Amino acid sequence: MRPKEEIILENYIAEKGFKRGAQRKGIAEIFLSTEKHLSAEELYALAKKKYPSVSFATVYRALKVLCGCGLCRELRFDDGVSRYEHLYGHEHHDHLICTVCGRFVEVTDNAIERLQTKLFKRHDFIPQRHRLDLYGICDKCGKKRRAD
């Protein structure tokens, strides 16, 4: 866990009057050092390696705390499963998702962002947030597919 993220987490726990549970800390460490859009289930599997007796509830609770202090964000994708992404040090971005291997690529395009703002205005909406998910087949999977 990078020092800044650790400080944010510790401050949040102190400020909320929580105590420092070993599992929660450990799960947070695993999450923050895994640069992936993990689902609760995936994070649980990783946590099990370190804490064989860990419960799903603890994983969900740890994720809730991480979201609470702004270190992560819950994203629900089309399969109905929530995945959690890092927020610290990650500017707003959209997602390119490979439908074969499930890889996530964080992308941004300022021109698209500007056009979205215009789109809000054109329809008299006050912009709040947006979400763009681009589904396709990544280079690696495309090559593999052509080779088969």
* 82 lines the binding site for DNA (CB under 7 A): yes
Instruction: State the binding partner of 11 from its own copies, DNA, none, CB within 5 to 8 A by kind.
Output: none
Instruction: State the binding partner of 23 from DNA, its own copies, none, CB within 5 to 8 A by kind.
Output: DNA
**Two tokens at 50?**
């370190």
* 10 lines the binding site for its own copies (CB under 8 A): no
Which one of residues 1, 6, 23, 87 is an interface residue with DNA (CB under 7 A)? 23
Task: Say which DSSP state 71 is in.
Answer: S
* 40 lines the binding site for DNA (CB under 7 A): yes
30: number of Cβ within 10 Å? 19
**95: number of CA atoms within 13 Å, CB side?**
19
Q: Find residue 97's DSSP bridge partners.
A: 104, 135
Interacting residues with its own copies between 71 and 110 (CB under 8 A): 76-78, 80, 96, 98-99, 105, 107, 109
Residue with tokens 């499930």: 102
